[in-house]
Amino acid sequence: MTTTYYLSLGANVGDCKASLDAAVAAIGLLPGTRVLARSSYYRSAPDGPVQDQPAFINVAVEVSAPGRETLAAACRKIEAALGRDRTREIPWGPRPIDIDVLGDPLDARPFVLVPLAEIAPEAVFGGRRVASRTFDSGAVERLEWPVPRL
């Protein structure tokens, strides 16, 4: 049995587009997991206390997977394979890849909601549909980069 999950991916170090594409491809290869949809690429300013870093490139992905914990653990392995070392990074700082399984109240930030609204406007977080939320969408810029086919 599988469940639908939503992922937020971001990168701001190195070739961000290549890292995001590689992460989505790797997620699609996980046992029992299928990528159902992915958003366009979006650029956003860093969020958090470390502002002196490059802008992030973000995407949202909808997947069908057997379990949240298994998916989250697999995403950490994908991050490591793509060069993320959580033991050496600055909290809220630059990173080559970040993959979050959504479901936390912090997920209501524009860089998460804008890409997610593109692929899953009916998704519910915190008891509210993504499409019904108001946020500063001007803080997130859609990029006109070609999106790989699923």
Interval 59-70 mean pLDDT: 96
- Which helix (DSSP H) or strand (DSSP E) does residue 128 occupy? strand 128-129
For 24, which DSSP code?
H
- What letter represents residue 102's amino acid? L
pLDDT at residue 131 is higher than 90: no
Instruction: Identify the pLDDT of residue 76.
Output: 98
Domain boundaries, the chain: 3-136
Q: Flag whether pLDDT at 32 surpasses 90.
A: yes
Query: Average pLDDT of the chain?
Result: 92
| Fold topology of 3-136 | Alpha-Beta Plaits (3.30.70)
Tokens linked to 16: 């961000």
**Residue 51 clears pLDDT 90, i.e. is over it:** no
Its pTM surpasses 0.85 = yes
Q: Mean per-residue pLDDT for 57-74?
A: 97
CA torsion angle for 48, 52, 57, 59 (degrees, to 10)?
-10
Is the per-residue pLDDT at 104 higher than 70? yes
Whether residue 88 has pLDDT greater than 80? yes
Which residue do the tokens 């469940």 mark? 3
Report whether pLDDT(138) > 90: no
Residue entry with tokens 């997610």: 116
Q: Most distant CA pair in the chain: distance in Å?
A: 44
d(CA 150, CA 141): 23
**pLDDT above 90: residue 136:** no
User: Facing residues of 116 across strands?
Assistant: none
Q: What is the pLDDT of residue 105?
A: 67
Q: Decide the pairing of beta strands 3-11 and 98-101.
A: antiparallel
- Please give the pLDDT value at position 23: 98
